[in-house]
Structures are given as structure tokens and as C-alpha cells.
Amino acid sequence: MTPAPRPTSGGTRGPHGPRAGLTLLELLIVMGLLALVLGVGAGSLANLDPGRRTALSTVTSTLRLARNEAVARRAAARVRIDRATGLLQAEGLRVVGTWRFEDEGLVEGFGPPAEIVGGEVPRTDAGHLGRALDFAAAPPSARLAVALDEDPACDPREGFALELAVRVTQATGTRLADLGAVAGLELRSDGSLSGWFVQEVEGATGRAAKGGRIRLESVPGVLPTGRWCRVRLEYDRSVLRALVDDVQVGAVAAEGRVWEPEGPLLVGGGTGGLRAQVDDLVLAVVRAGDETLLPVGVTLSKESATEIHFTPTGALDPRRHPAPLELVLEYEDGTEDLVRVGLYGTVEG
């Protein structure tokens, strides 16, 4: 009997006999599948580029930090971007003092201690919120003094917002408020407001020096008599502005820090005295978060904004950003990523 032939090495036995290896068609199919899998994997690894992910995370997290700070503290915030260096920094206003005048002889609230000096200032029951200081019934020299030097947190050099409720009984040219002799609000006899701050400049030796006053003027009649109004002076190292009942009445572009305070925060007590009632004094200063830096080889396009401002509700500030913002990250390989900030402050990227 002749033995049955054995299958050749490497072959397999099919239903109709032995079969040797892969056909050319099968080999091409396998190679195609491998190429497809490896191509998808390579694309996924490209998307996991750590520099790219770090750049996106740096921008989106800084923007969200500023927005969250604005909502949490109910104060404006912003992100400053230096395109040349790739530096990003979130900044926000933080309330460092509020003062109320409910009890006779006492100044309530939190922040540095405050007292009435230069004469007695009676209270009026018809305040903006409860009782208020009645400077119209006080000696011209009477004033509220807040000891800024007793609290390092009350440093307005990076920017500030000073706000108070005012009811003018007679418009006269006098001081409304003075922030440590480096910023202030003045009331004019025509009902206009004048705001100012002292700018820090670079001296001849390259060191910081005291500069001149940057001043804004409103039109007459912005502060009417016989009615409570909220008056606000704010500076964010880009614009000095005055607002009455949240309506801007004056503004001037300015840059740089504010000069270091040289005295207390004063309300009233100017030339001729303040013929008005005052309530609910609030001081906020700008505080900056940690600086973050884009990875090497990543830049922001020239069309990207260098400042993004958020309102106390977390939305984009409509005065500066009437439309959504887009920040374009550019990479060395020519690719780009887009970070979008919506009108309500949502950050996508």
C-alpha cells in the first residue's frame, strides 16, 4: 500500500486537500489593513503631541480662570496676553473694603479702619441703603478717612475701582473722594465730574518715578441734585473711566501703574465742603494671578486679541467685545488650533 502524501511545510489542509501559504491577493489585503491601522495610530499620536495639548490647555484654563474669578467675586476680570513673549495672565478686581454708616458715631464694614475727622458728620435716615453720612449738615472740613496704610491688600497700583452712593444737595466745586492722593473724583458746580490718577513713569535713572495726573472730564449735569446716584471711578491699566449709575460719563486711554498711595482714602472735606449725602463706599483693587507661558514654537496669530475682558456676570464686556472672540494658536509645522470665547464668556477649544 502506498502511503498518503504529507502536506508541505508551512501549508494548511483545506477541505479538498493541502493549501500552501497566502495568495498574492490576501497578502495585499493584509498589508493594506496594516497600513490603515498604522496610519490611524500615527494620527492619534500626532494629536497627543504634548506641546500642542499644553498650549491649548494654557490658553483655555487662563481664560476660564478669569471668567470664574469674575463670577465668584462679582467684579470685572480680564486676561492680558503678550504675543511677543507668549505670556498670559489673568487679572481681576477684588473688593478690599466696604464701609456703611448705620450707627451714629460708627463706621461699619470690612477693610482698613475708618473714622470721621475734622468735625462731626450727622446721619440721615434717608440713605441709599438705610442711613447715610450727611456732609451737607457738617462743617466744611469734616471728612471720612480710611487708613489704607494699615492694610497691604489695599494697593491700587495695578488698577482700582472706587464706588460710592451720592445724593447732591448743592453742586459746588469740591472733592468727592481722594484715594491716597494718587486718584480721585471731584464734583463741579455745573454737575460735572472730574476723575484723575497719578501715573507711575520711568525716571531718568531707569527707576520708577512719580508722573503727572491723567484726567478725565464729564459733560455738565451728569450728577443731578436731589437724587441718589452710584458714582464709580475705575482704572484697569488701559482706560480711566467714570460711571454714574453704570453709564459711562467720561473716559481717557492710559497705560502703566498707579503711583504708590501717599495718604488715606478721603471722602468729603475739600474746599468749601461737600454739600451732599454719601453712603455705601466700596474699594476694589486689581489682583493678578500667576503668569503662564506658551510652549516654545507656539504663537498667537496677529489677529488674536491681547486683552479679554469679562463682566461681573462672566460674560464678555460688550463695551470692548461686541462680538465673540477667536484666538488662533499657530504651530511650527504650519497647523493651527482655534480657541473661541462666546458672548456669555463660554470658552471652547
- What does the alpha-carbon distance between residue 115 and residue 257 come to, in Å, rounded to a whole number? 28
Query: What does the pLDDT read at residue 11?
Result: 47
- What does the alpha-carbon distance between residue 148 and residue 183 come to, in Å, rounded to a whole number? 13
Strands 228-235 and 239-244: antiparallel
- What does the alpha-carbon distance between residue 76 and residue 163 come to, in Å, rounded to a whole number? 14
Query: What does the pLDDT read at residue 75?
Result: 80
Q: Which of 211, 217, 166 is nearest to 196 (CA)?
A: 217
Residues of the chain with pLDDT under 70: 1-22, 27, 30, 35-51
- Alpha helix (H) ranges present in the chain? 24-47, 50-73
Q: What are phi and psi of 54, to 5 degrees?
A: -65, -40
Residues pairing with 132 in the sheet: 124
Element (H, E) at 262: none
SS3 323: coil
Please state the separation of Cα 24 from the chain's center in Å: 66
Contact (CB, 8 A) for 312 and 76: yes
Residue 134, amino acid = D
- What does the alpha-carbon distance between residue 229 and residue 231 come to, in Å, rounded to a whole number? 6
Element (H, E) at 186: strand 183-187
Q: Which of 322, 192, 199 is nearest to 250 (CA)?
A: 192
Q: Which domains does the chain have, with CATH numbers?
A: 50-86+304-348 (3.55.40.10), 98-289 (2.60.120.200)
Q: What is the pLDDT of residues 261-288, one digit of tens each?
A: 999 999 999 999 999 999 999 999 998 8
pTM for the model = 0.75
Q: Classify 239 in phi/psi space as left (phi over 0), alpha (psi -120 to 50) or beta.
A: beta
Query: What does the pLDDT read at residue 15?
Result: 52
Q: Which of 60, 54, 55, 63 is nearest to 91 (CA)?
A: 63
- What does the alpha-carbon distance between residue 139 and residue 272 come to, in Å, rounded to a whole number? 9
Residues pairing with 329 in the sheet: 300, 337
Cβ-based neighbours of 43, under 8 Å, separated by 6 or more: none
Residues pairing with 165 in the sheet: 230, 279
Q: Which of 100, 73, 96, 117 is nearest to 165 (CA)?
A: 100
Q: What are phi and psi of 55, to 5 degrees?
A: -60, -50
